[in-house]
Amino acid sequence: MHLGQIAAQTPDKPAVIMAGSGRVVTYRELNDEANRLAQLLRAEGLRPGDHIAFMLENHPLYLAIAWAAQRSGLYYTAVSSRLQPEELAYIVGNCEARAFIAGKSVEAAAQAAPDVPLRLMLGGTAPGFDSYEERVAAYPAEPVPDEVEGMDMLYSSGTTGRPKGVKPPLPLVPMGTEGPLFKLITLLFRPDGDSVYLSPAPLYHAAPLRYCLNFQRAGATVVVMERFDPEGALAAIERYGVTHSQWVPTMFIRMLKLPDEVRSRYDTSSLRCAVHAAAPCPVPVKERMIEWWGPILHEYYAGTEGNCFVYAGSDDWLAHKGTVGRPLLGEIHVCDEDGNELPPGEAGALYFGGGPTFEYHGDAEKTAASRDPWGRGWSTLGDVGYVDADGFLYLTDRRSYMIISGGVNIYPQEAENVLAVHPKVADVAVFGVPDAEMGEAVKAVVQPADPEEAGPALEAELIAYCREHLAHYKCPRTVDFRAELPRHPTGKLYKRLLKDEYWKDQSPTPA
């Protein structure tokens, strides 16, 4: 539905509720703010196909800014608020932004994008920026002429290298036209005007941003957490009567590690759908979540690139534990190094055919590397996995993290999944480190639940625990301890940063 129609029908209904502060943005306010910003962008000369970027922490007007670009036919890039100035400058320059909007609280923003023609700042100003509030308030809350749908152009989180801008074709269809993702969400999760969607993750990530906007297309209320907190998430579900939510597995793990009396304190019975994605979920974690919340968990495997969508409801998952589902968009091809398709049960590189196309903006080499080298028109997200006889997909790991030890391929995700549920582990990463004899050895880096327990005794306990569940060669030979692991707020682990520390004096074995 068109945002303006929803605002006309239910002007005072909450479109956004900030879970921490309780601040409400009504549908009238959301629509008016988006219209005013769209008018400003049009007055500044931006036309369909042009580009804006914005860098904010989760903010009450975040989605209004996205809607302004969406209804103006623009490409828009939501940038991580955790980036350093050099990283930010690369993205803003690479996406060729003609407008840049930032929050005063984001320190890196004031030092970046000096060449962008229009620079606006919320909550204050900095040299080179105009006040967002003052500039936007000067424009009418009327739609720009000939509204057409725009598109996000988001950047990969850079867990395996420099971020890549995923540029899909711009639809340029009339504003309010239902897109493929809205139709998919409607089919699977059935949002409506009575739905309340909880978004506990940063809005600059693909799934939170896209799902918030599409739930608002259905007239739902979106509850945005300023930052994830396990008990705070449960409190938000109870307080706002949340019906739909989206998570990453690390959030499940942190909620499950709350004391029983804390978890039982909150009523989560309003939940109808708990969606999760972004990273593999350990089987014991998902089993416990289904026991707690019931068979309302929905899992999907997809990427910012949009070339596939693989889905599993709770019933299918319980019958095929560990799967991420069967494809609803794109056909799966599991290939060996020579491009031969592998039979069920054998792991190989995952490629997808028959789905939407994409390119990495301004990088023909990376775009080409994402396609199958055998000229069949398939694309890949860089993952390894297999399908079973019923066509259900299981992820093994990313190709870039595969360990080759003594000529044997080891996928560290298996050990990570085992160690993640150990009660003394708060977070864990497993990867290969240099080994003179074997080429690579399996290493675990652990954030202990109790920092005082870090040491040889816990190291031995964790190695033994892993060996109880996996073949010994798949388990870490050594464990190092850290106060915190470098993890993206969306839950993705920056394993590359850890791995580089151990390989800084030599090159790792190519995966």
For the chain, the domains span 25-174, 330-401, 404-503
CA separation for the pair 346, 393 (Å, rounded): 11
Residue 265 has pLDDT above 90, yes or no: yes
Give the predicted TM-score (pTM) of the model.
Answer: 0.83
The domain over range 25-174 is classified in CATH as 3.20.20.70: no
- How many other C-beta atoms can be found within 10 angstroms of the C-beta atom of residue 509? 15
Check if CATH label 2.60.34.10 holds for domain 330-401. Answer: no
Over residues 341-369, mean pLDDT = 91
Residues 469-475, mean pLDDT to the nearest whole number: 87
Tens digits of per-residue pLDDT, 377-399?
999 988 889 999 999 999 886 76
CA–CA gap between residue 423 and residue 257 (Å, rounded): 8
Give the span between the Cα atoms of 129 and 121, in whole angstroms. Answer: 6
Terminal Cα-to-Cα distance of the chain (whole angstroms): 46
Q: pLDDT higher for 90 or 136?
A: 136
Q: Report the SS3 class of residue 378.
A: coil
Of 339-353, 359-373, 380-394, least confident by mean pLDDT is 359-373
- Measured CA to CA, the distance from residue 2 to residue 374 in angstroms comes to 43
Residue 341 has pLDDT above 60, yes or no: yes
Q: What is the pLDDT of residue 161?
A: 53
d(C-alpha 12, C-alpha 404), whole Å: 59
Residue 511 pLDDT greater than 60, yes or no: no
Distance CA(112)–CA(104), nearest Å, equals: 13
Output the CATH code of domain 404-503.
3.30.300.30
Determine how many CB atoms are found less than 10 A away from the CB of residue 314. 18
Which residues contact residue 134 at a Cβ distance below 8 angstroms, ignoring those fewer than 6 apart?
none
Token reading at 136? 């936007």
pLDDT digit string, tens, across residues 186-217: 999 999 999 999 999 999 989 999 999 999 99
- How, if at all, do strands 383-387 and 403-405 pair? unpaired
Residue type present at position 417? N
| pLDDT averaged over every residue in the chain | 91
pLDDT in tens, 489-498: 656 677 878 8
